[in-house]
Copies of this chain bind each other. A is one copy, B any other.
Amino acid sequence: MAKDGLPKQAEDFPAWYQEVVKRSGMAENGLAKGTMVMKPHGYAVWEHIQRALDDRFKATGHENLLFPTLIPKSLIDKEQEHLDGFSPELTIVTIGGGEVLEEPLVMRPTSETVIWPTYGKWMQSYRDLPFLYNQWCNVFRWEKRTRIFLRTSEFIWQEGHTAHATADEAKEEVARMLEVYREVAEDVLAIPVLTGKKTPAETFPGAVYSLAIEGLMRDGKALQSGTSHFLGQNFSRAYDCQFLNQDGEQEYAWGTSWGFSTRMVGGTIMAHGDDRGLRLPPAVAPVQVVVVPIYKNDEERSGVLEVAEKIKTTLAGNLIRVKVDDRDQYRPGFKFSEWELKGVPLRIEVGPKDVAADQVVIAHRVSGEKQTRSTADAIGQVAGLLADAQKAIYQDALAYREANTHEIESYESFAEGVEAESGYWVGPWCGDEVCEAKVSSETKATIRVVPLEPTDPGGACIVCGKPGTQRATWAKAY
């Protein structure tokens, strides 16, 4: 850890982000341009996210499978012909085993183009459906400007791809998975999210409509945090994926896809971090409790370490992720700063006087508070304190979002306001993409979502003054 402090969030948020990611040991740039190395502290957060999602996927009836990374280029081209397709910049293999390939292979940017032709082989009758499948994998999108976790040329995600016998069933699936994402974002990552529908301009190409959850970062920018798409019959038509329906007729299957990625490790950093570093929600913190022994000589050392180890053993037995920082080469103050930087929710300090008084000091990363407790009380209370910290960090983020959500009074005040203060700006919109485009070109703010169900727009379109049809939420976004 560098000696000098972090950049201040309020002064230079991107610099703060870059430094906190690096110094906390979350990740760093890889040796190939645009790639990242997820270091143990960052990867462990991702593992907790994975587990939280995967458990919920399975509880909602899904199974995992895995398709190959490499896709024959002709299948990608077919998507371009049939759908106004997704056009990420592709990463292309042209040499294998020392020979130039007859047909180049594309490293998957997403897997619809290889999954749908395969689903076509797997389905005969409506009785075979639904296919409720998901895969955990890496995907590749050649990016010119990259930022760790948020935009890299390779990232890890899960992509769910389901096929259904009816449109209604597929739509229910799309809503169900959005709800899974909302739950993981709010209950696990402690990030309050808006749920809603993307405008047609922001819909995944190939989808009929796209739902999303959006979180607000501490620089006032929105982060699209998970998307769930109703594909209609678009991909099944493009890849000739039919089944015999209940009426004995061939029908194209109805599809969905939904994804959540390592981007959300970045989201967790930016939604909760402060000028001292990360603040990790206990549910995903790799270390939930760090015990720091304080001592000046060998005799003190053995006394405090004995207590520290006892605390560790008891907590670990209760499945709490706990670590004793017994490194001799660093002073306690250095350790305190380092674990604060790493976002560990609770720190327990044990010094010689504490040992004598059978007490410890508990320091809370979220609130910044400190309390002295008897050792037994402290051990007994840790699970409850972690649960409190999980709630408190969510409440902090919710309060931040509320303080940064603005009702739009007029287009002028909005355009000025969104420059100065980011956050969400909410107001009526006529639904015309001309108005949408005018706002985004003049203010850099885009419509993040409109409500899932139509609501009272509450007035005339803030841009053109024609009757509003929807209430839109604008923000600058990652």
The answer to whether A97 touches B142 (Cβ under 8 A) is: yes
A interface residues, tally (CB under 8 Å)? 53
The answer to whether A117 touches B75 (Cβ under 8 A) is: no
Roughly how many angstroms separate A190 CA and B91 CA in the complex, as a whole number?
A: 41
Q: Using a CB-CB cutoff of 8 Å, which residues 72-112 of chain A contact chain B? A: 72, 75, 89-98, 104-105, 107
The answer to whether A94 touches B94 (Cβ under 8 A) is: yes
Q: Using a CB-CB cutoff of 8 Å, which residues 135-175 of chain A contact chain B? A: 137-138, 140, 142-144, 153-154, 156
Q: When A94-B92, A107-B93, A118-B31 are in contact, do A37 and B68 touch as well, CB less than 8 Å? A: yes
Which B residue's beta carbon lies closest to that of A328? B127
Q: Is A385 an interface residue (CB 8 A)?
A: no
Copies in the complex: 2
Which B residue's beta carbon lies closest to that of A38? B66
Roughly how many angstroms separate A274 CA and B15 CA in the complex, as a whole number?
A: 61
Partner of A114, one of B31, B69, B96, B117: B31
Partner of A91, one of B31, B71, B96, B137: B96
The answer to whether A43 touches B68 (Cβ under 8 A) is: no
Q: Could you tell me the distance in whole angstroms from the C-beta of A334 to the nearest C-beta in chain B?
A: 14
Q: List 30 A-B contacts (CB under 8 A).
A: A30-B67, A31-B72, A31-B75, A32-B68, A32-B70, A32-B72, A35-B68, A35-B70, A36-B68, A37-B67, A37-B118, A40-B64, A40-B133, A43-B65, A68-B154, A69-B69, A69-B138, A69-B140, A70-B91, A70-B153, A89-B97, A90-B98, A91-B96, A92-B93, A92-B94, A92-B95, A92-B96, A97-B142, A97-B144, A107-B107
